[in-house]
Amino acid sequence: MMNELPNGGPAAGTERLRGEGLFPGVIDAVEPPHRPETGPRAASQPKVSGEEIALIERICAGERDLFMELVRPYQRLVYSMALSIIKSEPDAEDISQEALFKAFKNLRQFRGESKFSTWIIQITVNEARHRLRRASRVAEESIDRGIESDEGDYIPIDFADWREIPSETLQRKELRECLHRAIASLRPIYRDVLVLRDIQHLSIAETAELLKISEISVKQRLLRARLQVRDALAPGIHGSWNTGSTTYKRVKPF
Amino acid sequence: MLEGKTIVEISCFEVWRRISDFVDDDVEPELKQRLEFHFGRCKHCKALLDGTRNVVALIGDEHAFELPRETSERITSALQRRIAEDAQDERKE
């Protein structure tokens, strides 16, 4: 949808972003934080706003300083995506900076077929994965604290006394770090669904389209991801939210 | 509400398979009723439900993946610097 751009914008001949990594396709993403109120199917999301289109064209025409104005609303999105994949806050900061710079260098390649936020997410995820590969830091072994039934169902750990963790406790750096580690330790196929659904608040349909999997697969993977994070968190930070035994038994079927 | 009708028991295994959908309110009305009935009788599955809900609430909380102001400032400064350097490099070419 964008016309040929004059010289003088972001560097010509820059590497064209391919649909590698997690998000090969295009999708209309929901602006975070937001989740459709009813059911899994969200209405079709608006594409790039006219203001953004105008900004992008001006940046590509040479007004580089406007790039900060374009991406400022997406900084938290980029950072949260990076942090959900990589465990370290300093690394997430580096990845965010790198991803945003790559967005700048490749801005001419953005064709407005998806929302700008989706494009930014794609760059961020690919950068985070690249960083992991480069450092040979493969995802840790899945936090499968549960076991699998004969039919492949994930059987969660039983603890009868899960206290509700109020949002205020997220102020505690320790809990936040534990949450980050739990999510980053998930196998990618489960983590990706969890990140898109529960952090970025995409619908089931949008997640399925973005990941090129069925909606049933999204639900199945989401189930496992949520249960695994639950199992990872609840045994707890110094047991501070359970008063029961530290030995957890498997849930006994009814 | 299926008044006057028998609610068919549901196994814990089946509950676990659908618990994520239940949290998202994405189950058929009849199944929802069976699940709610089960949660009222099975403390293990009720604990699992509470835990799963809390996980979703925690993960979705904006504080879970907060961008500290200082971090934002550093990212902004570094990005501005790199863009400026990129401009200089282009002029040299």
Nearest to A98 by CA among A127, A67, A118: A127
Same domain, A151 and A246: yes
In terms of CA atoms, which chain A residue is nearest residue B74?
Answer: A93
- Whose CA is closest to A225, among A183, A173, A165? A183
pLDDT score, position B91: 81
**Cross-chain CB nearest to A230 (options B15, B52, B86):** B52
A151 and A129 in a single domain? The answer is no
A108 and A197 co-located in one domain: no
Convert A55-68 to b/e letters by CB count within 10 Å (16 or more is b): bbbbbbeeebebbb
Q: What is the pLDDT of residue A172?
A: 66
Q: Do A162 and B54 touch (CB under 8 A)?
A: yes
Mark which of A86, A111, A134 sits at the end of a domain. A134
State if pTM tops 0.80.
no
Interface of B with A in 27-56 (CB under 8 A): 38, 41-45, 47-48, 50-52, 54-56
Q: What is the pLDDT of residue A12?
A: 38
* A171 & A207 share domain: yes
Q: Return the pLDDT at A119.
A: 84
CA torsion, ordered A120, A179, A133, A152, to nearest 10 deg:
-110
Look up tokens 């995506």; give the residue: A81
Same domain, A218 and A130: no
Question: Domain range holding A242?
Answer: 147-250
Residue B1 to chain A, least CA–CA distance (Å): 19
Q: Which of A230, A242, A249, A250 to mutate to test the interface with B (most CBs of B within 10 A)?
A: A230
A114 and A155 fall within a common domain: no
Q: What is the pLDDT of residue A117?
A: 81
Whether residue A41 lies inside any domain: the answer is no
A230 CB neighbours in chain B (<8 A) are: 48, 51-52, 54-55
Contact present, B33 and B7 (Cβ < 8 Å): yes
Res B51: pLDDT: 87
Tens digits of per-residue pLDDT, B56-83?
Answer: 988 888 777 778 899 999 999 999 999 9
Whether residue A13 lies inside any domain: the answer is: no
Is some CB atom of chain A closer than 8 A to the CB atom of B24? yes
Domain-terminating residue out of A99, A134, A169? A134
Low-confidence ranges of chain A (pLDDT < 70): 1-47, 136-153, 155-172, 234-254
Residue whose pair of structure tokens reads 């109020």 in the numeric block: A166
- The answer to whether position A113 is within a domain reads yes
Instruction: Strands of B2-58 (E only): list them.
Output: none
Q: Is residue A164 domain-shared with residue A244, that is, in the same domain?
A: yes
Q: Between chains, do B13 and A253 touch, taking CB under 8 Å as contact?
A: yes
Residue A185: inside a domain:
yes
Distance in angstroms (rounded) separating the CA atoms of residues B29 and B35 = 10
Say yes or no: A246 and A178 in one domain.
Answer: yes
On whether both A125 and A153 belong to a single domain, the answer is: no
Residue A36 lies in a domain: no
Domain count, chain A: 2
- The string of pLDDT tens digits covering residues B8-57 is 888 999 999 999 999 999 999 999 999 999 999 999 899 899 889 988 98
* pLDDT score of A31: 33
Q: Are residues A240 and A172 in the same domain?
A: yes
Query: A60 and A105 share a domain?
Result: yes
- CATH number of the domain at A96, please: 1.10.1740.10
> Residue B36's pLDDT is what?
95
In a domain, A33, yes or no: no
Say what the pLDDT of residue A159 is.
52
Q: Name every residue whose Cβ is closer than 8 Å to that of residue B42 and which is 6 or more positions away in sequence.
A: A254, B12, B15
| Residue A32 pLDDT | 35
Find chain A residues with C-beta within 8 A of B74's C-beta: 93
Residue A68 lies in a domain: yes
Predicted confidence at residue A206, as pLDDT, reads 80
User: What local confidence, expressed as pLDDT, does residue A151 receive?
Assistant: 60
3-state secondary structure of A128: helix
B73 touches chain A (CB under 8 A): no
Q: How many A×B Cβ pairs under 8 Å?
A: 155
A239 and A193 within one domain: yes
CATH number where A182 lies:
1.10.10.10
Its sign, for the CA torsion A59, A60, A62, A68, is positive
In a domain, A43, yes or no: no
Q: How far is A3 from chain B (nearest CA, A)?
A: 22
Single out the residue in A82, A100, A134 at which a domain terminates. A134
Tell me, what's the pLDDT at A5?
27
